[in-house]
Amino acid sequence: MINMLQLIKNFFTGLGNIFRKPRTVVYPREKIIIPEKSRGMLHLKLDLDSLDVLCNGCGTCVSICPEGAIKIKKKTLEEGKQVLDRFRLDLGRCIFCGKCVEACELEAIGLSYRYQNADNHRKDLVMEKADLIRPSGTIRGFWK
C-alpha cells in the first residue's frame, strides 16, 4: 500500500539536498545578471564624434507611445538644423513596451538595462534629458 521504495528515494533526495547550494538569491545582497533583451529605462544615444544626442526631435515616438509618456520640445539652430531642446519621459506612465524604439527612424533611442527605478515621490519619476544619457545604463554586467 505504501510504496516503500519511493519513500526511501525521497528520503535520500531530501538528505542530498541539504548539502547542495540553495537555488534562491538573497536579492539586495546578491543579484543575478539580467538577460540580454530586457527592457529597462529609455536612454538617448550619443553621436560618438561630437558627443551630442542623435535625436533631432521629429516626434515619431511621441505619437506612437500608447500612454503618452514622452514629451519633446525642439528648437531650430541658425543653419536651419533641427535639434532637441527638451526630452521629458514620465516613468510613472511608461509600460516599457519598446514601441518608441521600433518607431524611431534614426535609431536614436534604445532601452537600457536600468531596472532599479523606484522612488519615493511621483514627481521624482519624471526624467529629463540629462538623466537619460547615463552610459552605465547599457552595460549588462553593471546592473548586477
- CB of 52 closer than 8 Å to CB of 84: no
Segment interacting with another protein, rule: CB under 8 A, options 11-19, 48-56, 119-127, 135-143: 11-19
Q: Does 97 bind another protein (CB under 8 A)?
A: yes
Interface pattern 76-95 for another protein (x via CB under 8 A): -------------------x
C-alpha–C-alpha distance, residues 52 and 55, integer Å: 9
C-alpha–C-alpha distance, residues 58 and 82, integer Å: 8
Cell readout for 78 is 541658425
Q: Tell me the one-letter amino acid at 87.
A: F
> Which residues of this chain interact with another protein, rule CB under 8 A?
1-3, 6-8, 10-11, 13-15, 17-18, 20, 22-24, 26, 35-39, 64-66, 95, 97-99, 102
